[in-house]
DNA sequence: ATAATAGTGTCTGTGAGACAGTATTCT
DNA sequence: AGAATACTGTCTCACAGACACTATTAT
């Protein structure tokens, strides 16, 4: 599961050595060749909370500290493929929505070497959660976005950036549906909005807005849950 | 002016050699260490047009083809500092508004080596244009955003990305004022909006919206231009 | 009957957009 | 007087937000 993490950490030391040799030979000390990684803020909704997937580091620096999944870009991979692949390798989550956030490259963000990371965020639907479940619970875990532990490197900044970006995208894009199963109730959809925006919304205004936008399809079915009136099920109508 | 461009192009070949040696020694052929550059879409308003600053390449690949300025990240530079410095070195434009767009890293975007670039856009105010003017006109020139020549690498995609981003930011940020002198008329401001959005706006609605937003300060002065009624001058009121 | 959630309509204020004529300056 | 640009106000419509009660299901 996290064997790749081990490879990554070893690799930085090895690269540092080979780089020094190469640079000395070529006389290029003024330039450095930074290392490039991808890091992914993986989000889902679970237990009525917005959750972020973290892995616990096994080696220094930041040994035993939680971090977001990531790793090196391999030959032939696009940046987005690299993000998808590193996420799959480290957390067993695959085939989900990915969007680039920004590159982070402040000198010193990794104490070992100059490492520039291209950060992505990923959204895991509630019906895809079984995929993530068989990741080793000791090393990989979901944390409430509001109660994150101390994070390695500049990962706290990256997660914050992701959560803010999601607020923007919620209104201008259709990301909310990425966090729900294919069939969902309006109350469930409203909950997604509330968790991302981190504020409560008026039920009548929310339903009015969503339904009048025409992006939902009322499939005839209902969903019973508890001893009360069942809810209408909807599906996302792609444009 | 573009000596750095020369260094950049030579450097890629040298790095390719030293990388191969280093990788072979460490047995790490599965990983590659991509090169990282910054590239900058520099924009201004000139002759009633939205213009983009381009440099003409002197060496293969894409010899004699126009490209956006950019170059390697140096030791100790943040990404934004690198963008500001490479821009200053290649085009003599300095001390202006910069914002990161995205990282571009599709394999093959540079035919020589794996190069990942962190793209920025920059806005040059009309009163800062003298700085850019003494760049060598043979190698550096402003092009109307609507009439760009063929561009090297994936630079056409990056410029397109920048122009789209500017449309978004125009409404949610204060970037328009970065393209104007400190004192400007409402007609000039409207022209900036029209050029970025690429559509004409109603004068009364525009003025109503801008003035009611309270971000402008009416300094008492007026500006005469031609044989007609002079216009009120305003300045941007920072929040 | 009770508990629990689903579902529904009105009013008000704000902002966007369509639209045409008067004001000021210089030649 | 004419040319050229600056400047101004009203109406309509769509959307956002405040606000409270009825409907349906199972126990």
CA-CA distance, B45 to B25, in Å (whole number)? Answer: 52
What CATH code would you report for A3-171?
3.90.79.10
Beta carbon of A48 within 7 Å of strand C?
no
Q: Distance, angstroms, CA A205 to C1' D27?
A: 32
Question: pLDDT digits over B124-138, tens only?
Answer: 997 887 666 555 556
Whole-number pLDDT of residue B136: 53
Question: pLDDT digits over A90-135, tens only?
Answer: 888 887 999 999 999 999 999 999 999 999 999 999 788 766 655 5
Q: What pTM was computed for the model?
A: 0.91
Strand C contact nucleotides, protein CB < 7 Å: 3-10, 15-20, 23-27
Q: How many helices (H) and strands (E) does chain B have?
A: 6, 10
**Residue to test with chain B: of A8, A21, A73, most B Cβ within 10 A:** A73
CA distance readout (Å), A209 to A32, A74, A171, A190, A219 = 52, 44, 11, 11, 19
Question: pLDDT digits over B91-142, tens only?
Answer: 888 889 999 999 999 999 999 999 999 999 999 997 887 666 555 556 899 9
Chain A residues within an 8 Å CB radius of B114:
75
Beta carbon of A185 within 7 Å of strand C?
yes
Whole-number pLDDT of residue B127: 80
Q: Are strands B216-223 and B231-236 parallel, antiparallel or unpaired?
A: antiparallel
Report percent pLDDT > 90 for chain B: 74
Name the closest residue (CA) to the C1' of nucleotide D23: A229
Residue contact A107–B15, C-beta within 8 A: no
Beta carbon of A226 within 7 Å of strand C?
yes
Name the phi and psi angles at B184, rounded to 5: -150, 165
Q: Which residues pair with A123 in a beta bridge?
A: A43, A97
| Domain spans of chain B, in order of start | 3-172, 180-236
What fold, for B3-172?
Nucleoside Triphosphate Pyrophosphohydrolase (3.90.79)
Beta carbon of B172 within 7 Å of strand C?
no
**Residue to test with chain A: of B21, B33, B40, B157, most A Cβ within 10 A:** B33
The angle at the Cα of B106, spanning B73 to B96, to the nearest 5 degrees, equals: 40
CATH architecture of B180-236: Orthogonal Bundle (1.10)
The three-class DSSP label of residue A133 is helix
Residues by CB within 7 A of strand D: list them. A 202-205, 209, 212, 224, 227-230; B 185-187, 203-205, 207-208, 222, 226-232
Distance, in angstroms, between A46 CA and closest chain B CA? 30
- Identify whether the C-beta of residue A92 lies closer than 8 Å to the C-beta of residue A131: yes
Residue recorded with tokens 């760009």: B148
Question: pLDDT digits over B42-60, tens only?
Answer: 999 999 999 999 999 988 8
The pLDDT of residue A222 is above 90: yes
Question: pLDDT digits over A32-82, tens only?
Answer: 689 999 999 999 999 999 999 999 998 889 999 999 999 999 999 999 999
Closest C-alpha to A125, from A170, A94, A85: A94
């Amino acid at each position: 599961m996290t064997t790749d993490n081990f490879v990554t950490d070893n690799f930085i030391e090895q690269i540092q050595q080979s780089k020094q040799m190469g640079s000395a030979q070529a006389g290029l000390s003024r330039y450095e060749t930074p290392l490039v990684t991808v890091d992914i803020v993986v989000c889902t909704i679970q237990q009525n909370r917005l959750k972020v997937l973290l892995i616990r580091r096994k080696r220094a620096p930041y040994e035993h500290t939680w971090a977001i999944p990531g790793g090196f870009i391999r030959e032939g991979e696009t940046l987005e493929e690299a993000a998808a692949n590193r996420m799959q390798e480290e957390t067993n989550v695959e085939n989900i929505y990915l969007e680039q956030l920004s590159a982070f490259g402040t000198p010193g963000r990794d104490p070992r070497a100059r490492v520039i990371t291209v950060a992505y965020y990923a959204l895991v639907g509630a019906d895809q959660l079984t995929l993530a479940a068989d990741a080793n619970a000791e090393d990989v875990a979901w944390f409430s976005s509001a109660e994150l532990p101390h994070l390695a490197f500049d990962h706290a900044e990256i997660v914050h950036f992701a959560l803010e970006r999601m607020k923007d995208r919620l209104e201008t894009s259709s990301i909310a549906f990425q966090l729900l199963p294919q069939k969902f109730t309006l109350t469930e959809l409203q909950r997604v909005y509330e968790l991302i925006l981190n504020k409560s919304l008026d039920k009548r205004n929310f339903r009015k807005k969503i339904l009048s936008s025409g992006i939902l399809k009322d499939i005839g079915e209902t969903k019973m849950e508890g001893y009360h009136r069942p809810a209408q099920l909807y599906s996302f109508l792609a444009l």
